[in-house]
Amino acid sequence: MTLDIAQVRSSFPALKSGYIFADNAGGSQCLSDVVSRISDYLLNTNVQLGADYSVSVTSTQRVADGIEAVRELFNAESADEIALGSSSTMLAENLARAMEGDFLEGEEIIVTGEHEANAGPWKKLAARKGLTLKVWAHTPLASAPNNPYAVALQLDALLPLITPKTRLLTFTGCSNILGALVPVKAFTAAARARAAELGVRKLEVCIDCVAYAPHRRIDVRAWDVDYCFFSMYKVYGPHIGALYARSTSLAHSLTSLAHHFLRVEDKSYKLQPGGPGYELAYACTAVPAYLRGLAPAGELDDAWARIAAHEQALVRPLLEYLKGKEARGVRIVGEETAGAGRAPTVSFVVVGERAVSSRDVVRAFDEKKNIGIRYGHFYAYTLVDSLSPKIDVDDAVVRISLVHYNTVEEVQKIIDILEEVLA
C-alpha cells in the first residue's frame, strides 16, 4: 500500500522548481487542477447564480458540485450542512455569533489552547454573555518522562471540567504545534457520556480540523460531532474555509446571520451571509478527485491510508534524529515517536547551555535559499505560553511540517542542515 510519488508530485506545479516546501501546516501547495478550475470558472461561467439562462444554470451547478465535494471530505450527510467562507477563523467567528442566543445564563464553554481560530471566538462569546470559560490544558505524556515539552490533550484532564452547566466542548483534531492526532470519536463519546450522567441540558462538540484534514480522513458522522471546520488551502485546494454544522444544530441551536427574508431555518446559509467565492467553491471539486486518483480503486479510505503510510516514512527519521540530539539540548514539543497518532508536523526547541533560538535555526535554512521552514507560535499562543519550563512565546518553536508530496530525500536534506546548525 504505497503512493506513486512521481504521480503525486506531477500534480503540483510548484514542486518542479526543486524548492523543498516544509511549512505545509501554514498552507499546502496547490493542485494544478484547482487552478484550472478557477480559471475556467472565471473565464467561462462568471455570472450570478440562480438564473434560468444557460450560463447561470452551469455556474449554479458548478458551485453546487464544489459544495458536494466538500461534503464528501467531511463525510457529512447533506450538502445543506456545509458552509464556505473566507477562512476557518471567519467561519468559527460566524458560528459563535449564530450560537450566541442559545446559551443560557451560567453555562460553560470548554476550549483548548491550540490555534486561536477555535478558541478566540468562544473567548469573546463568553465575555459578551458572562459565560464561564474553561481551558482543557495539555498535560505531560507518560511515554516521555524526561521531556517537559512532550504534552498532549488527554481525557483525564477533560472529564473533571464537565459539569451540569457545560454547553460546548471545542477542541482540535490535530495540533498544529504538537502534531498529535486526537482520538476525536473516543473523546467525544466519553464527554457525551459524562454529560449524560450529569444531566447536561445540551452538549455540542466543535472540532478544529485545520491541521488534521491534510493527513487523515474526516468523518463527522462517525465522530458524532456537531460542528467541524478546516481550510481547503491546507488540503491542496483554493484559499477558502469549510464548515460542517449538523442539521439538527442548524435547526435548533443557531440563529441566522443571513438576510431576514431568506428561509434558511435548517440550512448552512445561516452561517454564510452572502455567497462564497464561486470560483473557489467550484475549484474544491479538484481535491476529492485528486485523492481518489491516489488509490487504484478510487476509494478515499484507501487513498488516506496510503497518505498516512507515506507520511510515517517521512516523520520517523526526522523524529529519530531530533530525539538523538537530546544531549545537545533538542527537545521535541509533543509526541516524540512516530505512529498512527502522529502527523508529520514536528516542532522542537534547542535549550540548555548551548541553546539556539528558534529564529536562528530557521535563519540557517533561509540562507540555503531552497527550503522553507518556520518558527513562532503559529497562533497557538496559549499552548506555547503554557509550556514549562517557559520559552519565549514569540521565538517559540521551530516547526517542520511535511505532507504526502514531500519525499524521504527531502527529509534527509533537512536533517543535514540541522546537523550543521547543531554541530
Q: What is the pLDDT of residues 127-177, one digit of tens each?
A: 999 999 999 999 999 999 999 999 999 999 999 999 999 999 999 999 999
Residue among 359, 394, 402, 362 nearest 377 (CA): 394
Extract the C-alpha cell encoding 258: 443571513
375 lies in some domain: yes
Residue range of the domain that includes 386:
5-29+300-421
Q: What is the pLDDT of residues 250-280, one digit of tens each?
A: 999 999 998 888 887 778 889 988 888 999 9
Check residue 1 and give its pLDDT.
74
Residues 285 and 346 in one domain: no
218 lies in some domain: yes
35 lies in some domain: no
Check residue 384 and give its pLDDT.
97
- Whether the CB-CB separation of 156 and 147 falls below 8 Å is answered with no
Residues 203 and 179 in one domain: yes
- Among the candidates 222, 254, 289, a domain finishes at 289
Domain count within the chain: 2
Q: Which amino acid is at 366?
A: D
The C-alpha atoms of residue 285 and residue 33 are separated, in whole angstroms, by: 9
Burial class, 137, CB count within 10 angstroms (exposed 0-12 / middle 13-18 / buried 19+): middle
Residues 214 and 146 in one domain: yes
Q: Which amino acid is at 393?
A: V
Position 247 pLDDT exceeds 90: yes
Residue among 321, 387, 389, 379 nearest 355 (CA): 389
Check residue 58 and give its pLDDT.
98
Residues 98 and 125 in one domain: yes
- Among the candidates 238, 260, 289, a domain finishes at 289
The C-alpha atoms of residue 11 and residue 176 are separated, in whole angstroms, by: 25
Check residue 339 and give its pLDDT.
95
Residues 243 and 304 in one domain: no
The C-alpha atoms of residue 154 and residue 137 are separated, in whole angstroms, by: 9
The C-alpha atoms of residue 378 and residue 44 are separated, in whole angstroms, by: 38
Check residue 71 and give its pLDDT.
98
Average pLDDT for residues 355-379, to the nearest whole number? Answer: 97
Residues 193 and 116 in one domain: yes
Residues 283 and 329 in one domain: no
Residues 116 and 217 in one domain: yes
Question: What is the enclosing helix (H) or strand (E) of 58?
Answer: helix 54-74
- Whether the CB-CB separation of 209 and 173 falls below 8 Å is answered with yes
44 lies in some domain: no
380 lies in some domain: yes
- Whether the CB-CB separation of 137 and 113 falls below 8 Å is answered with yes
- Among the candidates 256, 289, 322, a domain finishes at 289
Position 48 pLDDT exceeds 80: yes
Q: Which residues contact 345 (CB under 8 A, 6 or more apart)?
A: 25, 174, 175, 176, 177, 178, 179, 211, 399, 400, 401, 402
Residues 199 and 96 in one domain: yes
User: Among positive and negative, which fits the CA dihedral 244, 218, 404, 33?
Assistant: negative
Check residue 269 and give its pLDDT.
86
Q: Which residues contact 83 (CB under 8 A, 6 or more apart)?
A: 91, 94, 242, 243, 245, 268, 269, 270, 271, 272
Interstrand relation of 397-401 and 345-350 (parallel, antiparallel or unpaired)? antiparallel
Of all residues in the chain, the percent with pLDDT exceeding 70 is 100
Residues 283 and 414 in one domain: no
Q: What is the pLDDT of residues 54-72, one digit of tens each?
A: 999 999 999 999 999 999 9
Residues 109 and 168 in one domain: yes
- Whether the CB-CB separation of 259 and 273 falls below 8 Å is answered with yes
Residues 327 and 282 in one domain: no
Average pLDDT for residues 222-228, to the nearest whole number? Answer: 98
39 lies in some domain: no
User: Terminal CA-to-CA distance of the chain, rounded, Å?
Assistant: 38
- Three-state secondary structure call for residue 406: coil
Render 292-354 in DSSP notation, one character per residue: HTTSTT--HHHHHHHHHHHHHHHHHHHHHHHHTTGGGTEEEES--S-STTB-SEEEEEE-STT
Tell me, what CATH number does 309's domain have? 3.90.1150.10
71 lies in some domain: yes
213 lies in some domain: yes
The C-alpha atoms of residue 218 and residue 387 are separated, in whole angstroms, by: 29
Tell me, what CATH number does 204's domain have? 3.40.640.10
The C-alpha atoms of residue 173 and residue 186 are separated, in whole angstroms, by: 12
The C-alpha atoms of residue 215 and residue 341 are separated, in whole angstroms, by: 11
Distance from the Cα of residue 149 to its chain's centroid: 21
Check residue 15 and give its pLDDT.
98
Position 93 pLDDT exceeds 80: yes
Q: Which amino acid is at 272?
A: Q
Check residue 392 and give its pLDDT.
97
- Whether the CB-CB separation of 37 and 282 falls below 8 Å is answered with yes
Distance from the Cα of residue 137 to its chain's centroid: 19
The DSSP output letter for 161 is G
- Three-state secondary structure call for residue 110: strand
